[in-house]
Amino acid sequence: MKTINDFNFENKKALIRVDFNVPLNEALGVTDSTRILAAKKTIIKILEDGGSCVLMSHLGRPNGVEEKYSLKHIVNEVSKILGVKVQFSEGCIGENAQKAVAELEKGELLLLENLRFHKEEKAGDEGFAEELSKLGDIYVNDAFGTAHRAHASTSVIAKYFPENKCFGILLASEIENISKVLTHSEKPVTAIIGGAKVSSKITIIESILDKIDHLIIGGGMAFTFIKAQGGSIGSSLVEDDKQEMALSILKIAEEKNVKVHLPVDAIIADQFSNDAHIKTEAINAIPEGWMGLDVGPKTNDLFSEVILNSKTVLWNGPVGVFELKKFATGTISLGNAIAEATENGTFSLVGGGDSVAAVKQFNLTNKVSYVSTGGGAMLEMLEGKTLPGIQAILD
Ligand code: AMP
């Protein structure tokens, strides 16, 4: 696995695919710069070697050229975080971009305009990839968030750098840490899968059953399992057409000796709001007109015990509506148990948009072993798929 540490970038121009798809507010200011910070090590190493960096990324889902998705809005933030002046190229291919690259001196940084202003990016167009490839001597992929996409800048481009392509520090460490869970995990291994819907997590659950000892299911998706088992769930979130599937997961888990832990109680509410009336109820006895929006105290104890007895923990998805303070307790308790286990030597991997947000919100980022920057990419890797962005570097 070639990384940037296998190259000396002196007098070289590194063309780096980063994931600067950061959230912007209405005034087009960056509200969370985690992804920029995540690429810092790679960029600084190349500049310190005496090279220069051409950064390419997408931002949002523009339909053609849309001003509000221009990467020029993030230039100041990138500059602030990296501590280096950032030049901006209004095109990401073509004469102007090539000229800006040609004029780039060692130690300098150039950010290209949003790749997705060209539909060819997502289409994985060869001509577009070839144009992009003219903008650097060495291709570096450091964008884990898009590694599961076969786009022009994430995978197709690699073939124009048969010898000179490698992983950035972030992408290499994502691969290393996720592989730890996949192949070298110390037992018992526990996967905690939460979030809203069973349907979006089915594939991951099915594919990790061979690798885990315990499966904790929480969040809205738990209610499809409880209803399928005959429980009363009031007006809690449910996917009625997934009940069969839920039962089949439980059966397969049993066959594979995986112990499944479903919530035993819930914090139920009469409306989806912080102003709701709430009470604690058994998970399978929720009255009509009430909905379960968080797991209850008995469940917190149960989940914590499983986590504290695990040597490897994977967490994807909150166990309650943690965005509302009234229903955040379960997710906080879960996060704290993972932090405590980690302190005791457990390897913990957290990934997937909402669990990462929860970890940040509750200040647990430094208390877990690894926080993945890729939601979809992490899940696909755990499902055992080969990600196009990774394969293209390995080929
Ligand atoms: P996902 O993107 O599938 O991981 O789902 C995350 C979302 O699930 C968060 O926005 C949570 O608010 C939501 N969620 C968690 N528990 C529940 C619940 N009991 N009922 C409804 N939504 C929930």
Structural domains of the chain ordered from first start = 4-172 (3.40.50.1260), 185-382 (3.40.50.1260)
Please indicate whether residue 195, judged by its CB atom, sits closer than 6 Å to ligand 1: yes
If you measure from the C-alpha of residue 159 to the centroid of ligand 1, how many angstroms do you get, rounded to a whole number? 40
Amino acid letter, residue 48: E
Answer positive or negative: Cα dihedral of 193, 198, 200, 205. positive
Nearby residues of 365 by Cβ (< 8 Å), 6 or more positions away: 359, 371
Helix axes 40-49, 75-82, angle to 10 degrees: 70
Please indicate whether residue 339, judged by its CB atom, sits closer than 6 Å to ligand 1: no
Query: Whose Cα sits closest to atom 5 in ligand 1?
Result: 195
Q: Which atom of ligand 1 lies closest to the CA of 318?
A: 15
Q: Which residues pair with 192 in a beta bridge?
A: 216, 315
Model-level pTM?
0.87
* Catalytic residue, candidates 17, 35, 201, 242: 35
- Residue 353: predicted pLDDT: 67
If you measure from the C-alpha of residue 65 to the centroid of ligand 1, how many angstroms do you get, rounded to a whole number? 33
Please indicate whether residue 330, judged by its CB atom, sits closer than 6 Å to ligand 1: no
DSSP for 82-123? Answer: HTS-EEEES-SSSHHHHHHHHTPPTT-EEEE--GGGSHHHHH
Please indicate whether residue 351, judged by its CB atom, sits closer than 6 Å to ligand 1: no
Residue 268: enclosing H or E segment and its boundaries? strand 265-269
CB atoms within 10 A of CB 99: 12
- Residue 361: predicted pLDDT: 92
- Token pair 């051409």: residue: 54
If you measure from the C-alpha of residue 220 to the centroid of ligand 1, how many angstroms do you get, rounded to a whole number? 6
If you measure from the C-alpha of residue 323 to the centroid of ligand 1, how many angstroms do you get, rounded to a whole number? 9
Please indicate whether residue 200, judged by its CB atom, sits closer than 6 Å to ligand 1: yes
Quick: pLDDT tens for 92-108.
Answer: 999 999 999 999 999 99
- Residue 184: predicted pLDDT: 76
Low-confidence ranges of the chain (pLDDT < 70): 353
If you measure from the C-alpha of residue 184 to the centroid of ligand 1, how many angstroms do you get, rounded to a whole number? 30
Nearby residues of 355 by Cβ (< 8 Å), 6 or more positions away: 194, 315, 316, 317, 318
| DSSP SS3 for 13 | strand
Q: Are 275 and 245 a contacting pair, CB within 8 Å?
A: no
Please indicate whether residue 220, judged by its CB atom, sits closer than 6 Å to ligand 1: yes
Which is nearest to 214 in space by CA: 92, 110, 303, 89?
303
- Residue 195: predicted pLDDT: 92
Please indicate whether residue 318, judged by its CB atom, sits closer than 6 Å to ligand 1: yes
Q: Which atom of ligand 1 lies closest to the CA of 355?
A: 4
